[in-house]
């Protein structure tokens, strides 16, 4: 269909850095979407376009380092959720929750990020992919570590370890991050923490080209986060 083809083209534009082209054709998609606004008979179509446009823009602002725009967009997407939420299937919700959780992490709104991660972890629909639960749990550990919630982190570590032990498959990056968090939350001197960041960065670098691991690392750039901790800079500055 026209929308599917346009969506695929827009994703390709972002991936290869054709940003002017992206902006041009995103405007076309938005113009196409506007003809269905407030028409109940086209609610399903409006919902689909809302999801596609939200996902495209969240990814675009993240890729281009436009984090002020990203912050504004989060509010607009949340408004859309309140309007179309009941019409969105669970898997599509989870995908967008992931994008919003990551966006909030980038702008350092860790508590808001945790709210969306919790929505993923608490999803009970059996159609939700197991890896989405696993990835959410790993990101939950990093979020609580950033906030210094070490009491909560101890419980989260136990819960995550138990969950992963029963998983059908486990990514190497999940075990590496879990082991890192256990060590880091029990390490006080900054010099020792830096050594842990560097070690995890090195270990993740060795598996970064593995196709199986790469899909997970693309959802959350743990290596850039570690670099931000090593350099003592904002994660957003490293991504830029």
pLDDT band at 146 (very low <50, low <70, confident <90, very high): very high
The pair of three-digit structure tokens given for residue 2, joined into one six-digit string: 């026209």
- Count of all residues that appear for the chain in the document: 240
Q: What is the pLDDT of residues 41-65, one digit of tens each?
A: 778 889 999 999 999 999 999 999 9
Judge whether residue 238 has pLDDT over 80. Answer: yes
For residue 115, give the nearest of 104, 126, 131 by alpha carbon.
104
pLDDT at residue 227, rounded to an integer: 97
pTM, to two decimals = 0.90
Judge whether residue 151 has pLDDT over 70. Answer: yes
Min mean pLDDT across 71-80, 109-118, 143-152, 164-173 is at 164-173
The tally of CA atoms less than 13 A away on the side-chain side of residue 139 is 34
Q: What is the pLDDT of residues 91-109, one digit of tens each?
A: 888 889 999 999 999 999 9
Cα–Cα distances (Å) from 25 to 12, 16, 22, 56, 231, in that order, read 12, 15, 5, 11, 38
**What is the CA 199 to chain-centroid distance, rounded?**
23
Cα–Cα distances (Å) from 139 to 47, 74, 142, 143, 216, in that order, read 28, 19, 5, 6, 11
Q: What is the pLDDT of residues 178-213, one digit of tens each?
A: 999 999 998 888 889 999 999 999 999 999 999 888
Residues 6+ away with beta carbon under 8 Å from 125? 90, 91
pLDDT at residue 197, rounded to an integer: 97
pLDDT at residue 44, rounded to an integer: 87
Euclidean distance between CA atoms 80 and 174, whole angstroms: 32
């Amino acid at each position: 269909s026209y929308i599917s083809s346009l969506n695929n083209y827009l994703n390709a534009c972002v991936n290869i850095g054709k940003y002017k082209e992206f902006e041009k054709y995103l405007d076309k998609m938005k113009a196409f979407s506007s003809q269905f606004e407030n028409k109940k008979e086209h609610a399903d179509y409006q919902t689909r376009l809302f999801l596609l446009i939200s996902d495209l823009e969240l990814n675009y602002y993240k890729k281009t380092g436009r984090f002020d725009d990203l912050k504004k967009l989060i509010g607009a997407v949340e408004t859309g959720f309140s309007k179309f939420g009941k019409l969105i299937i669970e898997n599509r919700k989870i995908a967008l929750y992931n994008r919003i959780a990551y966006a909030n992490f980038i702008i350092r709104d860790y508590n808001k990020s945790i709210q969306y991660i919790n929505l993923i972890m608490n999803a009970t629909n059996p159609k939700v992919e197991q890896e989405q639960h696993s990835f959410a749990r790993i990101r939950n550990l990093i979020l609580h570590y950033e906030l210094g919630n070490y009491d909560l982190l101890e419980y989260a570590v136990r819960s995550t370890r138990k969950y992963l032990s029963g998983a059908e498959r486990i990514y190497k990056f999940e075990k590496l991050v879990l082991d890192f968090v256990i060590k880091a939350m029990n390490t006080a001197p900054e010099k020792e923490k830096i050594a842990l960041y560097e070690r995890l960065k090195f270990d993740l670098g060795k598996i970064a080209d593995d196709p199986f691991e790469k899909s997970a690392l693309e959802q959350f750039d743990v290596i850039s986060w570690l670099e931000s901790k090593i350099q003592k800079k904002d994660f957003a500055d490293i991504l830029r």
